[in-house]
Chains A and B, each alone.
Chain A
Amino acid sequence: MTSEPASDRPRRKVRNFALLSNRAGAAFLTPAGLLVSVFVIVPFFWVIFVSFTNRTLLGKTALNPEFVGLANYFSLFDPGNFLQRGQFGFSLILTVQFVLASALIGQALLGLLLAWLIQTVPPWVKRITETFVIAAWILPEVVIGFAWFAFLDRDQGTLNAMLTSVGLPRGDFLLDQPFWVIVVFNTWRGAAFSMMLFGSAFSSISPSYFQAADVAGATSWQKFRDIGLPLIRGHIVTDLILITMWTFNTFTPFLLTNGGPSYRTELVSIYNYRVAFHDFQFGKGAAVGVIMMLINLAFALIYLSIGRKKKG
């Protein structure tokens, strides 16, 4: 990024050799390489292998799993019950809805709105807003899960206490509207990232554009639509891909609903956990893992190709 500083120029010989010999470089890379191989690269291939076996956690097939071909995939995509609650298809569609509602609509829109609004407010309002939104994002997920659990509790929850005090009926939200609970929860928790990304994108726009628009008498909405949005288009694409991937893989709603009641919030990550660690069907769980990784791969390739185009 930074080119060689000027002090280098007087030197006659252009030093272009590497600072680190290949041998030292390889030695430096080895510990990290081993860790990444064992815990990132081997799992990728091992999960594919296990997905073709009937490996279980306990019993005979735990030690001597048999090769079962595509049986695990057939059972995941069994047309007979594919879309039933507690089956893979239901989880997959639920996850798509969850990503659409909480990441693409919730986090991105809320983040965009917040990022735009705090451009013009007094600095202290901006700081306080940022602090709270970022706090929602960095606090440990278990603490946030517990806080929401307490907030939504049927008998003693804060939300019901507030509803009662203004004369509205109480509700058992975790039981009646579990899907919307985790959507709101994920939106609330993840909006910080989009807000910061869009915020730094907005503040990199030259103020003269907005000043010119002010002179022409543009409203805030017009400035947003005609100057702000078009100029941060690249950031929006980046943001949408990243939050889609994160939301698709998130396990945090488990802390709020356990995937229930009766599988109504069982996202694919939670489905994977239940199949593998509750029902002890590692082969089938591995097959779910393979499908998740394929979906991740598609998004990652899109993301990386966009990143390369930007550089090139």
Chain B
Amino acid sequence: MPGQSLGLAMPDPWTLANFVTVFGNGFAVRALWNSVLQSVGGVILVGATATLAAYALSRSSLPGKGAVTYILLLFSSVVSGSAAMVPIFLIVSAAGLIDTHLAVILTFAGGLLPTAMFILRDFIDSIPKSYEESAMVAGASPVQAFFDVALPVIRPGIVVIVVWGFVNIWGSFLIPFILLRSDTNMPASVAIYSFYSEAGTPIVTLLAAYSLLYSLPVIALYLFVSWKFGFRFFGGIKA
């Protein structure tokens, strides 16, 4: 077995030097930070707007609710990122947002929202209305009933949406690859790709260390979800 880089061999000696080098690389660290900005921003936007919308879909009697849900589902599965890359780019550039974090955040929020709303609406549907009704009997306004009574009960559902959204944005490649230009805005996914595709010979040990750092949040969230809920989305989440 050749004891060289890509071969599978026990490292000898064990060292953290690669991580030190990664942290010394301004571009690499900055890319991780950009990933944080874009994922957290996107998740906050998705979480907040999806919760409000799903609550309205579940608890109001707006006409055409069913049709809205059906159309949302249809469009969200038809308009995939790889089919809609041209119009998304054109819309973002018409808005003057090319090469900004905001462009990535808004695009992901729009793309993830239909599914997020759908999951949350099912979740809210399964919560008895009597919670909010009792609050309103006690004199709360509907909006108060939402914020003080319903929101705490919906929280597990929001956690699921937030985790799911974060993992999606954090790992994504195509959208930031298209919408961002400058090195200073690139998230880690695009940085890793450019490290191994453009550099003549990639420094594999460094890239592996960097990939591991980049994967850590996803692994942590996966462990968190499987510890908290069990990793089965089809069994549903018990509140």
Contacts and interface: CB of A to CB of B under 8 A. Distances in A.
Nearest to B107: A39
Contacts of A162: 8
Given A35-B45, A276-B85, A29 B91 contact: no
B130 A5 contact: yes
A250 interface: yes
A24 B1 contact: no
Interface string B115-156: 001000010011111101100100000110110000000000
A17 B142 CA distance: 12
B142 A140 contact: no
A196 B232 CA distance: 7
A147 interface: yes
Contact of A29 (B56, B76, B193): B56
B196 A149 contact: yes
Contacts, number: 264
Contacts of B218: 138-140
Given A157-B6, A161-B8, A24 B142 contact: yes
B67 interface: no
A251 B173 contact: yes
Contacts of A249: 80-83
Contacts of A245: 77
A19 interface: yes
A207 B187 CA distance: 48
Contacts of A151: 6
Interface in B66-80: 70, 72-80
A140 B214 contact: yes
Given A4-B128, A36-B110, A150 B6 contact: yes
A43 B91 contact: yes
Nearest to B71: A41
A101 interface: no
Interface stretch (A117-125, A175-183, A222-230, A289-297): A289-297
B10 to A, nearest CB: 14
Nearest to A138: B222
A282 B90 CA distance: 9
B5 interface: yes
A153 B6 contact: yes
A276 to B, nearest CB: 5
A18 B65 CA distance: 13
A32 B82 contact: no
Q: Which 4 A-B pairs have the closest CB atoms?
A: A39-B110, A25-B60, A140-B171, A269-B82
Interface of B: 1-2, 4-8, 45, 48-50, 52-53, 55-57, 59-62, 70, 72-91, 106-107, 109-111, 113-114, 117, 122, 125-130, 132-133, 136, 142-143, 145-146, 167, 170-174, 178, 188-190, 192-193, 196-197, 204, 207-208, 211, 214-215, 218-219, 222, 231-235
Given A7-B130, A22-B61, A46-B87, 15 more contacts: A5-B130, A17-B61, A35-B109, A39-B106, A43-B88, A44-B87, A139-B215, A140-B189, A146-B192, A150-B6, A255-B173, A258-B197, A272-B83, A273-B178, A276-B85
15 contacts: A17-B61, A25-B59, A29-B52, A33-B53, A39-B109, A39-B111, A43-B79, A44-B87, A150-B204, A156-B6, A197-B234, A272-B83, A273-B85, A292-B80, A292-B82
